[in-house]
């Protein structure tokens, strides 16, 4: 039987550094009346994304959550009630459901998903806007990887990195993943079929990269920023492309200050190279194509993305912290 109350995660205090349990609070509220055009959705899973951390700051690009406000998150769920002609009870949807058990919001903010084509959680992972589609846009539309090129990706065992490397591989590149520890390395070269792995937790990262890419790097898909970005900048080829997808090494602390810029950025001039940032939301016209292609690949077993599922809204803080400490492999989800 459906719950008659909504349980939500609200911001109790602005995190300093890694998000901690005390920064969040669970609250219960009665379900609001459903207005015309709105639907009520039982939230099934939330996507744990780095952008969530940035919305906890006061000045944030993705908008800032006020103290006491519900934490922003994308999710999938099932329509329970509807006052919209566009969605019917029982249908699965994707959208900004927030960190709560039951979302009441305009149907226009949601998109129906076909759980016959792929499992619902895949719409947050392999096919997801912030995961598979982000990786697809970065590889295809920004880096424009060509066959035979050397493609390096950081946070490679994470959701975006794992997908980006697999897409570049399908596009004919030689793929090197950077991740922490031998276990993740085996995941990259074993399960994902990458050509080589670099362990950033060892002291000899530059040497490992040089050994894996003796002729240099054509494309660096960067999810991490920090000192690693300089290590790769120092080994780019002529006409390299550095795709800035994120800088997760810099998000754990306070985002609005203290980001470390790449001190070797002048390699861009020396080596006729470019650094290009992107956000998936700036490529609306490419996304249906991306999703369709990713769904085909997933069905045909050409890409895979393990899911790391944390259970329960009360574990939200821990799930978010895991994203920054790298204690997971693949897509990090919260099962509501």
Q: How far apart are CA 30 and CA 265, in angstroms?
A: 53
The contacts of residue 109 (CB under 8 Å, 6+ apart) are 95, 96
Q: Smallest gap, in angstroms, from Cβ of residue 283 to a second copy?
A: 9
- Whole-angstrom CA distances from 321 to 50, 132, 171, 310 are 10, 22, 33, 12
Site string for a second copy, 193-232 (x = CB under 8 A): --------------------------------x----x--
Here's the x/- map for a second copy, 291-320, by CB under 8 A: it reads as ------------------------------
Decide whether 54 or 101 has the Cβ nearer to a second copy. Answer: 54
CA distance 107 to 19: 31
Residues binding a second copy: number (CB under 8 A): 32
Q: Whole-number minimum distance, CB 150 to a second copy, in Å?
A: 19
The nearer residue to a second copy, 61 or 325, going by C-beta atoms, is 61
Q: Provide, rounded to whole angstroms, the least separation between the CB of residue 88 and a second copy.
A: 36
Nearest distance in Å: CB 124, a second copy: 21
- Please answer whether residues 267 and 236 qualify as being in contact, where contact means their C-beta atoms are separated by less than 8 angstroms: yes
Residue 200 CA to residue 204 CA, distance in Å, equals 8
Tell me the C-alpha distance between 266 and 236, whole Å: 12
- Under the binding rule (CB under 8 A), the answer on residue 58 touching a second copy is no
Contact flag: residue 246 with a second copy (CB under 8 A): yes
Of positions 250, 303, 334, 336, contacts a second copy by CB under 8 A: 250
What is the DSSP annotation of 136-183? HIIIIIII---TT-EEEESSTTBHHHHHHHHHHHHTT-EEEEEESSHH
Q: Output 204 or 276, the one with its CB closest to a second copy.
A: 276
The dihedral region occupied by 232, where left means phi > 0, alpha psi between -120 and 50, and beta the remainder, is: alpha
Task: State the nearest-atom distance from the C-beta of 215 to a second copy, in Å.
Answer: 18
Sign (positive/negative) of CA torsion 203, 168, 161, 54? positive
Q: Toward a second copy, which CB reaches closer, 184 or 241?
A: 241
Distances (CA, A) of 178 to 31, 56, 286: 45, 28, 27
Q: Which of 245, 303, 310, 334 binds a second copy (CB under 8 A)?
A: 245
CA distance 181 to 163: 19
In the complex, what is the shortest distance from the CB of residue 222 to a second copy, in angstroms, rounded to a whole number? Answer: 10
Residues 254-293 that bind a second copy (CB under 8 A): 258-279, 282
Burial 60-78 (b: 16+ CB within 10 A, else e): beeebbeeeebbbbbbbbe
Closer residue to a second copy in complex, CB, 65/275: 275
CB closer to a second copy, 106 vs 277: 277
Beta carbon nearer to a second copy, 22 or 266: 266
Closest approach, Cβ 138 to a second copy, in A, equals 10
What's the min distance (Å) between Cβ of 272 and a second copy? 4
Residue (248 or 313) nearer to a second copy, CB: 248
- Residue 61, interface with a second copy (CB under 8 A)? yes
Report in angstroms how near the CB of residue 240 gets to a second copy at its nearest. 10
CA distance 186 to 293: 27
Comparing CB distances to a second copy, the nearer of 87 and 275 is 275
Instruction: State how far Cα 35 lies from the chain centre.
Output: 32
User: Could you list the residues that contact a second copy (CB under 8 A)?
Assistant: 61, 225, 230, 238, 244-247, 250, 258-279, 282
């Amino acid at each position: 039987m459906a719950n008659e109350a909504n349980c939500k995660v609200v911001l109790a205090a602005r995190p300093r550094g890694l998000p901690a349990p005390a920064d969040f609070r669970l609250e219960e509220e009665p379900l609001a009346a459903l207005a015309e055009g709105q639907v009520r959705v039982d939230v099934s899973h939330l996507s744990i994304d780095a952008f969530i951390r940035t919305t906890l700051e006061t000045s944030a690009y993705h908008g800032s959550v006020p103290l006491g406000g519900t934490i922003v998150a994308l999710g999938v769920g099932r329509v329970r009630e509807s006052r919209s002609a566009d969605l019917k009870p029982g249908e699965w949807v994707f959208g900004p459901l927030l960190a709560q058990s039951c979302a009441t919001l305009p149907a226009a903010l949601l998109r129906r998903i076909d759980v016959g084509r792929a499992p619902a959680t895949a719409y947050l992972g392999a096919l997801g806007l912030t995961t598979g589609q982000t990786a697809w846009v970065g590889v295809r539309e920004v880096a424009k990887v060509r066959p035979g090129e050397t493609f390096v990706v950081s946070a490679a065992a994470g959701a975006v990195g794992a997908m980006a490397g697999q897409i570049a591989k399908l596009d004919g590149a030689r793929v090197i993943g950077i991740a922490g520890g031998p276990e993740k390395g085996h995941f990259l070269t074993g399960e994902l079929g990458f050509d080589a792995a670099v362990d950033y937790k060892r002291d000899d990262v530059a040497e490992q990269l040089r050994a894996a890419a003796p002729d240099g790097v054509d494309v660096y898909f960067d999810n991490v920023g920090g000192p690693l970005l300089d290590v790769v900048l120092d080994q780019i080829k002529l006409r390299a492309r550095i795709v800035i997808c994120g800088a997760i090494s810099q998000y754990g602390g306070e985002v609005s200050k203290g980001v470390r810029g790449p001190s070797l950025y002048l390699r861009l001039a020396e080596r006729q190279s470019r650094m290009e940032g992107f956000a998936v939301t700036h490529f609306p016209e490419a996304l249906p194509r991306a999703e369709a292609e990713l769904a085909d690949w997933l069905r045909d077993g050409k890409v895979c993305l393990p899911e790391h599922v944390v259970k329960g809204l009360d574990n939200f803080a821990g799930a978010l912290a895991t994203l920054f400490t790298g204690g997971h492999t693949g897509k990090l989800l919260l099962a509501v």
